[in-house]
Structure 1
Amino acid sequence: MSELVEHVDEHDRVLGVVERDEAVRENWPHRIAATICRDREGRILVLRRSEVLSRFPGHYDVMVGGAVDVGESYEEAAARELSEELGVRVPVRFMFKFLCREGISPVWIGVHEAVVTEPLVPDPGEIAWQGWLAMAELCKVIDRWLFVPGGREALRRFLEPGCGS
């Protein structure tokens, strides 16, 4: 059985509970919680997703995250995903959410920010590589490297007017 998610509408209101695979197959919006991590110098954490992942294998991303569980808030899911994927427990701060239509299916992405000062312990099943990039470096690669579409859009919104579009 696939993980359960909340099927939501165009305004992020819950319509019901469905399996995530069904939401993707039927093109139904559901929720994703994600965090953009910064270090003390302001650099952004960039990840390359594992090749074994079913969604965007080998793509780069600036967000750590995943599906919001049924009854879970965006913030709770963001903190849980940081712990699961990077092995860190740090406060997350909600920044914004948007309906992303690029990618596998429409998803509401709740974007958070976290300042990470402790060592990362990435889950190798999720993350193949990680590095901290300064804003100038990140702006140079965002359109050259193969990024997860929602991550690219979230970064642009996060940095506005930073990199532009």
Structure 2
Amino acid sequence: MGELVDRVDEQDQVLGVVDRAEAIRKGWLHRIATIVCRDEDGRFLVHRRPDGSSRFPGQYNWMLGGAADVGESYEEAAARELSEELGVHAAPRFVLKFLCAGVISPYWLGLHEVVITTPIRPSVEEVAWHDWLTETELESLVQQQEFVPDAREAFDWYRNLSRADRRPLS
């Protein structure tokens, strides 16, 4: 068996433990934790996925993240993914959760935010290129065909939040 995840229902309640590949193949809901990284000037970290990635190779994304492990909260998964993918140890702030249609399969997406104040060490397995973009620059990039479609959906949800709800972290 490969990566194990909690299979959840339409209310995000755990139904059981399944193999993530099987959940994707059968369209079963599971949990994904993502992190939006901002710098002290409010710019967003954007990256391009490596060409050899199994999912969305060579495409741009404004979120980092991955599947929540069995029994792991969205917040715990976001902190773990932040450490694994950028070498940053922090507690991302939960922003929103929604049922994402998903290009590959549907899932619950928990979106978190963190302000990065230390140097990052991107994992070469996850990040081929990165830069910090203003919100205007990011809005333009999101519309490009080379942008991860699920990340585009998450950006729409994020952008629709009130400014007060997505205040920069201090």
> Which interval holds the TM-score relative to the shorter structure?
over 0.9
Instruction: State the match for 1:84 in structure 2.
Output: 84
Equivalent pair of 2:141/2:147 in contact (CA under 8 Å)? no
Q: CA deviation at 1:161?
A: 6.5
Moved more, 38-47 or 48-57: 48-57
Deviations 1:88-128 (A, max 9, x none): 11221000101111311001000000000111100001110
Paired-residue identity, %: 56
Q: Distance in 2 between matches of 1:82 and 1:112?
A: 10
Equivalent pair of 2:68/2:77 in contact (CA under 8 Å)? yes
Q: Structure 1: give runs of 5+ residues left out of the alignment.
A: none
Runs of 4+ in 1 over 3 A off after TM superposition: none
Instruction: State the match for 2:18 in structure 1.
Output: 18
RMSD, aligned α-carbons: 1.3
Instruction: State the match for 2:52 in structure 1.
Output: 52
Deviations 1:30-81 (A, max 9, x none): 1000000111111011011112221111111111100000000000000000
TM-score by length of 2: 0.91
Q: Distance in 2 between matches of 1:149 and 1:97?
A: 17
TM-score by length of 1: 0.94
Q: CA deviation at 1:160?
A: 2.0
| Letter paired with 1:150 | D
**Aligned pairs, number:** 162
Q: Structure 2: give runs of 5+ residues left out of the alignment.
A: 163-170
Q: CA deviation at 1:145?
A: 4.4
Equivalent pair of 1:2/1:19 in contact (CA under 8 Å)? yes
